[in-house]
Amino acid sequence: MKNDCVFCAIAAGEIPCFKVYEDDIVLAYLDINPFTSGHTLVIPKGHFTGLLDTPPEVLKEVVVRVQKVAAHLKTALPCDGFNVLQNNGAAAGQTVPHLHFHIVPRNGAGEGGGISFAGRKGDMDSLKALAERIRM
């Protein structure tokens, strides 16, 4: 647990939340500023900042819980679909530096507004050069 971390405080029960699911690995609760009705956050109980500093064995366990909670929301709400979002770093819009997955229920076409990363047609030569530069 990290002292100044709001999500650690929620996991420890020091700050209340509207709980959706809990087990030994994760806590899932409603986001206080929901994008859509049922917007749920899934966090590991341990403190990790984001995707890159979370040990793979923990991450696997958390992602399986994201699947479990999303499947539950789809029937319990219900919803037609959902987005899973996970922000890393302020540049990506992360405001709480404790790993969390957003599950954002969606209904119909575009309910709750689009998640807009406006794609533009890529230049094939640039894409090829970029892939060659960053290939692992």
By beta-carbon distance, which residue lies closest to Zn ion? 5
Q: Does 16 bind ligand 5GP (CB under 6 A)?
A: no
Nearest-CA neighbor of 1 among 27, 20, 31? 27
The partner in contact with residue 65, picked from ligand 5GP, Zn ion, none with C-beta cut-offs of 5 to 8 angstroms by kind, is none
Amino acid at 104: V
Q: Is 100 one of the catalytic residues? A: yes
- Determine if the peptide bond prior to 78 is cis (ω within 30°): yes
x/- string (CB under 6 A) for ligand 5GP, residues 67-86?
Answer: --------------------
Q: Choose which of 39, 45, 47, 100 interacts with Zn ion (CB under 5 A).
A: 47
Do 98 and 48 contact (CB within 8 A), yes or no? Answer: yes
Q: Does 5 bind ligand 5GP (CB under 6 A)?
A: no
Taking phi first (over 0 means left), then psi (-120 to 50 degrees means alpha), and beta for anything else, what does residue 113 get? left
Residues in contact with Zn ion by the rule CB under 5 A = 2, 5, 7-8, 47, 98
